[in-house]
Amino acid sequence: MVSSNAPILITGASQRVGLHCAQRLLEEGQPVIVSYRTLRPGVEQLRAAGAVALQADFSSEAGILAFIGELRQHTASLRAIVHNASEWLAETPGDEAEVFTRMFSIHMLAPYLINLHGAELLQRSPQADIVHISDDVTRKGSSKHIAYCASKAGLESLTLSFAARLAPQVKVNGIAPALVMFQPGDDADYRARTLAKSALGIEPGPEVVYQSLRYLLDTPYVTGTTLTVNGGRHLK
């Protein structure tokens, strides 16, 4: 891809997949703006590489709108918006409504409002994309993370709706990965059980998500599609 002067916004890019995608784009000469909830070493790495990093709290409407206002102060156009910001919370007795509201705000309300308010910025770029990072868990549901799964499924619905609304100026697609990288504290038993869930049986790392993102940014003829990146979990 030929890099654009208009930046790509990646939300939730302080660590793991978001950080990796931001770093890869910067390596290609693409300007990047990232959001982060918690200041981590990755944020300083991105700033040192030339990214603009904006603190944001997507757990409330006020926090989302404040971020949109700050974003507009930093750029008049966007090449793409990549909605990667996420939180993985399970319901526990007594806090179900709080968890659901938080999951809805981060995974649906934030992308919804940022897309609506950011459409004008995207339409000022000759090429423009929105990419929603969903989760393969939406394929079959989750008994322990109901709110998380439901809100990620809602995000996939937003992909369809915004693809229809913003065509042909803006392509809107999604990526639904299964686990692509373990946490440092994951033990050997958990790793073995998790790897056994997919046909390919590997921990691929975050590059597979970047490759999917790169494809969606580069292809001119795909919109309203969510790419499944799960190593063949649906075959097991």
Q: What is the DSSP string of 6-63?
A: SPEEESS-SSHHHHHHHHHHHHTT--EEEEESS--HHHHHHHHTT-EEEE--TTSHHH
Sheet holding 80-83, edge to edge: 52-55, 32-36, 8-10, 80-83, 129-133, 171-177, 226-229
Average pLDDT for runs of 10 along the chain of length 236: 85 98 97 97 98 98 98 98 95 92 98 98 97 97 95 98 98 97 94 96 98 98 98 96
Active-site amino acid positions: 148
pLDDT confidence of residue 3: 72
pLDDT confidence of residue 142: 94
Q: From the DSSP assignment, how many helices (H) and strands (E) are in the chain?
A: 8, 7
pLDDT confidence of residue 1: 57
pLDDT confidence of residue 4: 83
83 bridge partner residues:
132
